[in-house]
């Protein structure tokens, strides 16, 4: 059992977001909202609800609006106060108080493994979570909290996994190993985007990890692959061999917001959860499905 608390989380946010052009030409993809809440805010809120205190954003040039979103906006808040819109002003202020936000730059686009490695100095010698911004996971107990609980019980790194159809394993990093119950696997193999015939299982990693800090040395030793990029999955394979690793089939629904259809799916799902929107949205869906306007 690990006695170390998981206090820090790394959120890579340096990508160009080309799949959402032209929307991402002048704004970070992480700031595209699910209804009225930017995707990056939903990810940070999951981390905070999981007990995270320090959030380390790995950003790039032209991503300043992400940092600004989690800062005070004095002019906006003062204007709202003077217009007797205190509730809206408090919403803005609350974002600045969510957590301690640390921003580091990934100066060259050298892959997800390299992005995580950029956070090494800010993380230091303690375990940490990694949350990818393209994956929203809706669950009663935050997915990251579920993984932290496994980490603290088992004392080893853990990756969140979900079962995917056999034909779709080539879209994900896939784990293999020995099942230790319905949800837990002792991992001995990780493969990045295998063909269906090469996949060791149908358990895919959709972007949640709790990692031992030894991952940083593993990533330093990981050779660059296709396109000169350092793959996080390759570093995890080294870590699993050296220090052990688990995969946990988390409880929750995952939405791939890096995909247009997945983004629409997430938007509808989150709208239908909101009492102020569920009725009107259902009416809109009935209208469009019925073919009338």
Structural contact between residues 115 and 106, judged by C-beta atoms closer than 8 angstroms: yes
Q: From CA 209, how far away is CA 139, in angstroms rounded?
A: 16
The domains located in the chain, with CATH, are 8-258 (3.90.550.10), 259-293 (no CATH)
In 52-207, at which residue ranges do the beta strands (DSSP E only) sit? 54-59, 100-105, 128-131, 135-138, 157-163, 173-179, 184-192, 203-205
Produce one character per residue of 226-256: b if its CB has 16 or more CB atoms within 10 Å, e if not: eeebbbbbbbbbbbbeeebbbbbbbebebbb
Cα 82 to its chain centre, rounded Å, is: 37
Q: What's the pTM value of the predicted model, to 2 decimals?
A: 0.90
pLDDT in tens, the chain (293 residues): 666 889 999 999 887 778 888 888 888 888 899 998 899 999 999 999 999 999 999 988 888 888 887 777 767 767 877 787 777 777 777 777 777 889 999 888 889 999 999 999 999 999 999 999 889 999 999 999 999 999 999 999 999 999 999 999 998 889 999 999 899 999 999 988 889 889 999 999 999 999 999 999 999 999 887 678 898 999 999 999 999 999 999 999 999 998 899 999 999 999 999 999 999 999 999 988 875 55
Q: Cβ atoms within 10 A of the Cβ of 167, count?
A: 9
């Amino acid at each position: 059992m690990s006695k170390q608390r998981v206090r820090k989380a790394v959120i890579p946010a340096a990508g160009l977001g080309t799949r959402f052009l032209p929307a991402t030409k002048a704004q970070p993809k992480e700031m595209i909202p699910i209804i009225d809440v930017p995707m990056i805010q939903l990810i940070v809120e999951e981390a905070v609800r999981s007990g995270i205190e320090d959030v380390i954003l790995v950003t790039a040039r032209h991503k300043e609006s992400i940092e600004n979103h989690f800062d005070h906006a004095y002019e906006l808040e003062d204007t709202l106060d003077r217009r007797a819109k205190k509730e809206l002003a408090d919403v803005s202020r609350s974002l600045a108080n969510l957590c301690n936000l640390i921003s580091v730059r990934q100066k060259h686009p050298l892959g997800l493994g390299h992005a995580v490695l950029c956070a090494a100095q800010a993380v230091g010698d303690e375990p940490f979570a990694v949350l990818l911004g393209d994956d929203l996971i809706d669950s009663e107990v935050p997915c990251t909290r579920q993984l932290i609980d496994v980490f603290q019980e088992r004392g080893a790194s853990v990756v969140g996994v979900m079962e995917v159809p056999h034909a779709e394993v080539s879209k994900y990093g896939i784990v293999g190993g020995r099942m230790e119950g319905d949800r837990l696997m002792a991992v001995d193999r990780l493969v990045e985007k295998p063909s269906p015939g090469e996949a060791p299982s149908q358990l895919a990693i959709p972007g949640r990890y709790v990692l031992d800090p030894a991952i940083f040395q593993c990533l330093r030793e990981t050779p660059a692959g296709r396109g000169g990029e350092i793959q996080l999955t390759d570093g995890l394979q080294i870590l699993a061999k050296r220090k052990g690793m688990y995969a946990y089939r988390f409880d929750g629904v995952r939405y791939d917001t890096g995909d247009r259809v997945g983004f629409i799916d997430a938007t509808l799902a989150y709208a239908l959860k909101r009492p102020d929107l569920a009725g009107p949205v259902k009416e809109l869906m009935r209208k469009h499905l019925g073919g009338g306007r």
